Amino acid sequence: MVNRRLLDADDNLQAVKLIETVKNTKPIGIIDFELPARNKNERRQVKQAIHISKVRLSPPDRKRKITRYKIVETNVIVATEINPPPNQSPLEWILLTNVPIDSPMSGHEIVKWYLSRWQIEIYFRVLKSGCKIEKLQLETRERFDAGLSLYRIIAWRILYLTLLSRECPDAPCHIVFAEEEWKIAYMIKYGRKAPDKPISLWSMVNLIAQFGSYLNRKNDGEPGPTAIWIGLQRLRDFVKAKQVYDTIN
């Protein structure tokens, strides 16, 4: 948030601040990725140059005679967009990390971690809000660890379905769902016999999300993991009910 002042090897303030210091270094490489649509801007391809430098941050109360803070050395990555579209500001990130950066590959890896930040946040939101792991009333640490391991798999599957349906919408749904699952979901939603050929993965995930209160209106965005989480629970109940019905009859 703040373009910090830096210190040289003799603890003297440098004239050039953090961002400019790092950007004056030679780029270690280029990274390409797709930026999702946001704020009424369409999705687009982004190419960023990656600059890396190790710096010494000036303590915030350096002007005092006695400082409470130690001088901090940290690795800084500045990833700045090359040739942004007209009328759009270049996409630029300033990342500070204590992770060692000893090669261009490790610098690229840290930027990739940052690119995954939103998926990581969603994963933990599903784990905490959907699976409610913080409310597990288990007596021992061992039992909690076992329960957490199970719910981590569940949270991963929900996030995996969410992302896979967006990246591969036309793939047949049987690559993820059992035949019984997608046919029951189809019959519950449309009130008629399911087709012999599996529906698309996007259609199946959309059906499940509607079971979880996703409205599927024209201007609605893609269904999120919360709706899919609730819909999967309901789908499990539908399958169980069908199995009991078949057993009785």
What's the CATH number where 156 sits?
1.10.740.10
Average pLDDT, rounded, for the chain = 90
Q: For residue 94, what pLDDT is reported?
A: 95
Residue type at position 188: I
Q: For residue 214, what pLDDT is reported?
A: 92
Torsion 95-96-99-101 (CA) sign: positive
Cα(19)–Cα(94) distance, integer angstroms: 8
Does residue 178 sit in the same domain as residue 235?
Answer: yes
Q: For residue 61, what pLDDT is reported?
A: 67
pLDDT tens-place string over residues 211-221: 999 999 988 88
Percentage of the chain lying above the pLDDT 90 cut: 60
pLDDT tens-place string over residues 11-21: 888 999 999 99
pLDDT tens-place string over residues 46-102: 999 999 999 999 887 655 556 677 888 999 999 999 999 888 889 999 999 999 998
Does residue 146 sit in the same domain as residue 208?
Answer: yes
Q: For residue 184, what pLDDT is reported?
A: 96
Mean pLDDT computed over 133-143 = 88
Q: How many domains does the chain have?
A: 2
Residue type at position 126: V
Does residue 50 sit in the same domain as residue 87?
Answer: yes
Residue 75 contacts residue 56 (beta carbons within 8 Å):
no
Does residue 141 sit in the same domain as residue 239?
Answer: yes
